[in-house]
Amino acid sequence: GVPTAIGVDLTPKLTHVAVADLSGKILDIESFETSPDERQMTFRIVESVRRLKSGYPNSALGLGISLPGITDAALGVARYIPYFKWRDWEIGRIVSNETGLPTTIDNDANAIGLAELWLGKERTPKVRNFITVLVADGIGTGIIFDGQVYRGEKGAAGEFGHMVVGRKGPTACSCGGFRCWEAYASETAMRARYLDGLNGQRTNSQGITVEELGNLAKKGDKVAIEAFEKTAEYLGIGISNLIVGFSPEEIVVSGDITKYWNLIEDHLYSTVEESIRKKLPRTTIRASSLEGGSTLMGAIGIVLARKFASAN
């Protein structure tokens, strides 16, 4: 059959397991709610991978697992998943043993970087130095240098969500502090801004999604529009720091916020313009072009990178 890759995309709310061809087209997918019990998650993932693999016998080149936390890709161990406080989860090793598939795990932002490299629709093959910024409950960054992920010691590089950008963000960061970029520019921060703007008029908005905020903003809701704009401003501050520090060719923003690029781009670009010294080489900032959910594409990208990076 056609060669395929299997990807597992674990997010705090849902986990997706998919089979894709090597162009990133999804051929089959299963989704289930993410459980806070890591043993149950190991079991569910193994079962799901086995089921999907059986539908495409002898075609899977490998398995990629995208995780929202610090991972040791070399050992197949998730060092820390902040949302669930999981430590040293040996998911990669176990799934590989149970399914017989070569398995690679990675942090979600690194995975998106690999997907942009191998599957991105707007990429020119020349761009091999870029940084992906994943805006979700927190903020993750994937650094791609010369077509490779820069991982740092024990895979902990790219934790820019925790760089200090202010004194008191609208929400607590996943590390508990209020000074981190995550506390100012994540989806969580955007929701908190919206709720603050309501002055307690609507208490049931706690679980409001980016999509619901986007729909409100499209209808002209001033509080929602302001939440997007302020978040974009702080996103711009962090991106300015990345540009000054790394001078990448591109910064690629991904996450649900990019569906509302027209609401954020002006504030994002103008903040960056103000912050960057004019003589520096110009960095392109754009929204991700990945289809089918960028973190799921990331999981597929992990397999393609493992398969093809060595050939380059």
Task: Report, as an integer, the average pLDDT of 146-151.
Answer: 89
- Residue 124 in this model has a pLDDT that exceeds 70: no
Percent of the chain with pLDDT over 90: 75
Burial-class residue 22 by CB neighbours within 10 Å (0-12, 13-18, 19+).
middle
Strands (DSSP E) contained in the chain are: 4-10, 14-21, 26-33, 60-67, 70-72, 77-81, 86-89, 103-107, 130-135, 139-145, 148-149, 250-254, 284-287
Q: Is 19 helix (H, G, I), strand (E, B) or coil?
A: strand
Distance of CA 99 to the CA centre of its chain: 26
Task: Report, as an integer, the average pLDDT of 199-209.
Answer: 66
Instruction: Tell me the pLDDT tens digit for each residue of 50-85.
Output: 999 999 998 999 999 999 998 998 899 999 998 899
Task: Report, as an integer, the average pLDDT of 138-156.
Answer: 87
Task: Report, as an integer, the average pLDDT of 178-182.
Answer: 95
Task: Report, as an integer, the average pLDDT of 148-176.
Answer: 87
